[in-house]
Structure 1
Amino acid sequence: MTLLWLAFGLLLLPALWLLIAPLRSAQAVHASQQDVEANDRTAEQNVAVFRRRLESLEAAFERGEIDQARFDEDRLDLERSLLEDTAGTQRRPLKAPLSGRLAVPLVTVAVVIASVSWYQQRGAEGDLSLYNVLQEVRSNPERSLPMMIERLEQEAARQADNPNVWSSLFPLYRDSGQGAKAIEALERLIELEGRQPALLAQLAQTRFFVANRTMTDGVQALVDETLDKDPRQPIVLGMLGIHAFDEGRYEQAIEHWRKAIAGFDDPASAEALREGIAAAQRRLGVASDELETAQTQGPGIQVRVSLDPKLRDQLDDNASVFVVARDMEGELPPLAVARVKLSELPVTVTLSDAHAMSPAARISQVDEARLMVRVSASGQATPQAGDLFGGRDAVAVGDIDGEPVDVVIDRVVE
């Protein structure tokens, strides 16, 4: 931190120099202004002009070109004009060159205080300290999980209002089996960051496992709140699948896990859910490949997805591509969802009942569907600004062995 404040001091030096610079040149400016005023001949020039105009006026009067009344009026105008011009040339006395020197140190101190106060309010001193702690532990030859937790707990005591400290502590508590502390860290993080669906889902999942995979009233309340804010939240859906599997409700477990897969950006998590689906299918007495074949034999849509070359460099090759079929009225949940990587394009995807997210909304239930293809910059299922988009309306649902329907990703979500 000492180096940080030294750097701030170095950055302040140019600003302070600019504040002092006018004071250093004040003597030269004062002398120059004095010289200008001492050699100013404006008043003499105004008087000379007045005399010439007055002489012309008197000559005109003597020649009889104007009468006495006109002469008196014009002379009064000349005198009034002279007074006005002379008054405009009068200046206040110059102040001493160093008369405002006390304001300079005051402004300098004010700038320093304001800069330090602003950084303490809006700066990231706490995050820098947290980063130094993490780097220090990671570079320690004797590093261990307890050592990392101990150091982060010290940071939490020192900067209890820094959400990044609690977000770093939570997974360590969770991975070390300290469920109660993991819950406390999450609750503190939610206090600081607000009741975001992702944080509520983590809290619900942690409480679920701490309660030995029991759906307590508290866990259920968190699940309801999370799904109310984000019906596709993958962590909660995955947890609901586990709960259904434990109770022998294998069809519901498969349904929850399929929905969760569509929202996970982590390949490892998605693969774990697929293994869970396979286990649930075995419990039902149906082999995974048999179930998949049965579902893909029904009606569906083959989609050939490609990317407009103009948008090729917009997003990373690892960005997720969601291929979604919806009913034409938009009243049902997605009928089918498939997911690939941007690097796989162009690719042909088959949308069938095997890709349904809910038994109540399957592609075989409609004659036509609206296709929407979105490349997600964030990896989330919810559209966000910067995503790439393509679509096609009124696509017939039929034999999946037919000619693929072309969808080109050619727009950017604003």
Structure 2
Amino acid sequence: MTLLWIAFGLLLLPAVWLLVTPLRQAPELHRELTEFEASDTTAEQNVAVFKRRLASLEAALARGDIDHERYAEDRLELERSLLEDTEASERRPLQPATAGRFVIPLVMVMVVVAAVVWYQYEGAEGDLALYAVQQEVESHPEGSLEMYVERMEEQAQRQPDNPNVWSALFPIYRETGRIPEAVNALERLIAIEGRVAPLLAQLAQIRFFMAGRELTPEVQALVDETLALDPRQPTVLGLLGIEAFDRGDYETAVDRWRRAIASVGDPNTEQSLREGIRIAQQHMGIAPDDAEAVASGPGINVRVSLDPTLAEMVDEDATVFITARDTEGELPPLAVIRTTAAELPMTVTLDDTTAMSPQARLSMVDEARLMVRVSSSGQATPQPGDLFGELSRTEVTAEDGEPVEVVIDRVFE
């Protein structure tokens, strides 16, 4: 930031130099004007012209060319003309060369103050601070995503009204699974930028997945508000397609996804939506839009069981979430299956058809981390008392293989 203000001062130097220039040139200009006035003979020339015209007028009177009345009128006109010329040639005394020298420094100070105040309101000092954070983390020997997030959170406290802070934090929170923080960042961004369709659509999407892919009243309200602003908003249309697909309404899902494709700008998202359409058409028993059949992609066979010592803690209608994530924890869940404890033990297949979002699919990674959680409340986020089991690393394979075992044997504290 010090460099910024140094650069700012350097940019002000030309303006200050222009303001000082008249003060530096004043002595020379005063000398030239003094010499000009000293050598000016305009008054003498006007008097000489008056005398010549008066002599001519008297000669005409002597010859009898004009009478005395005409002579008096013409002489009066000559005298009036001389007075006017003499009055116009009178000059005020020249001011000293040092006159007004205190005004220039005052104007200089006012220019500097006005420039600084304007920059405080209209400048990009906050964004430069964000850029400095990025450069610091990139050049740091131990720079990491965690360090970057920590530095950005510090900036969020210093400049909470800068939308670029929250627009940088939101995707990081979302992709690293810090969903409550992601929602808070997105809501802060909406408070600053206004309730515009793209931001409302993202909020609706994240709350939809937080609710276990259910169209809750809160999510429905956000969807309605977004569509009122932009009926072709692709994120919301994709969300509605997922909800319809989960209900088995494949025809509606295809319609929503086709409308989303018409407005989406990301090629990867478009391809994911097209894959979803083909899968929905297969469920409907009709030929896919593309002649080439599309498989569900690589996946993981998982056998889920409950530790017998914990069986008494689980009701049969408790919700079971079977989730696959990337091993680095940088992406949203890649695949999710929701079932009940009454179905345990069970064997399921996680693949692209069980993806939560077209932007995060199991086929995007070679290995995944599996987590199975039993929730008596049915909440998508872990709650104290939930039971869980996990497998830290398993291969995503394109061929059917033996199921990997995940045992629910621990309790969330």
TM class, shorter-chain normalised?
0.5 to 0.7
What does residue range 374-393 of structure 1 map to in structure 2 within 5 Å? none
What does residue range 347-366 of structure 1 map to in structure 2 within 5 Å? none
- Is the contact made by 2:278 and 2:289 (CA closer than 8 Å) also made in structure 1? no
Quote the sequence identity (%): 62
CA gap 1:78/1:289 in 2 versus in 1, 3 angstroms: closer
In the other structure, the counterpart of 1:108 is 108
1:333-391: per-residue Cα shift (whole Å, max 9, x none)? xxxxxxxxxxxxxxxxxxxxxxxxxxxxxxxxxxxxxxxxxxxxxxxxxxxxxxxxxxx
Partner AA of 1:66 in structure 2: I
In structure 1, what is the Cα distance between the partners aligned to 2:205 and 2:140? Answer: 33
In the other structure, the counterpart of 2:138 is 138
**Alignment of 1:127 onto 2:133:** no
In the other structure, the counterpart of 1:326 is none
- Is the contact made by 2:127 and 2:164 (CA closer than 8 Å) also made in structure 1? yes
What does residue range 11-410 of structure 1 map to in structure 2 within 5 Å? 11-288=11-288
Q: Which has the larger radius of gyration?
A: 2
In the other structure, the counterpart of 1:329 is none
Partner AA of 1:109 in structure 2: V
The Cα shift of 1:277 comes to 2.1
CA gap 1:139/1:261 in 2 versus in 1, 3 angstroms: farther
1:141-178: per-residue Cα shift (whole Å, max 9, x none)? 43333322211111111111111111101111111222
The Cα shift of 1:98 comes to 0.7
The Cα shift of 1:194 comes to 1.9
Give the alignment's TM-score, normalised by structure 1.
Answer: 0.68
The Cα shift of 1:218 comes to 1.7
1:164-216: per-residue Cα shift (whole Å, max 9, x none)? 11110111111122222212211221222222211111111111112222212
1:230-252: per-residue Cα shift (whole Å, max 9, x none)? 21111001111111111121111
The Cα shift of 1:54 comes to 0.7
In the other structure, the counterpart of 2:328 is none
1:283-304: per-residue Cα shift (whole Å, max 9, x none)? 33345369999xxxxxxxxxxx
In structure 1, what is the Cα distance between the partners aligned to 2:235 and 2:141? Answer: 35
SS of residue matched to 2:262: helix
In structure 2, what is the Cα distance between the partners aligned to 1:25 and 1:191? Answer: 55
In structure 1, what is the Cα distance between the partners aligned to 2:287 and 2:109? Answer: 77
1:38-73: per-residue Cα shift (whole Å, max 9, x none)? 111111111111111111111111111111111111
CA gap 1:50/1:243 in 2 versus in 1, 3 angstroms: same
The Cα shift of 1:135 comes to 2.4
The Cα shift of 1:280 comes to 2.1
In structure 2, what is the Cα distance between the partners aligned to 1:169 and 1:209? Answer: 19
- Is the contact made by 2:257 and 2:277 (CA closer than 8 Å) also made in structure 1? yes
SS of residue matched to 1:219: helix
How many residue pairs match? The answer is 293
1:75-103: per-residue Cα shift (whole Å, max 9, x none)? 11011111100001100011110111001
Partner AA of 1:169 in structure 2: L
In structure 2, what is the Cα distance between the partners aligned to 1:33 and 1:15? Answer: 27
In structure 1, what is the Cα distance between the partners aligned to 2:159 and 2:136? Answer: 18
- Structure 1 unaligned spans of 5+: 294-414
In structure 2, what is the Cα distance between the partners aligned to 1:208 and 1:183? Answer: 12
In structure 2, what is the Cα distance between the partners aligned to 1:246 and 1:23? Answer: 80
Give the alignment's TM-score, normalised by structure 2.
Answer: 0.68
Partner AA of 1:49 in structure 2: V
Partner AA of 2:44 in structure 1: E
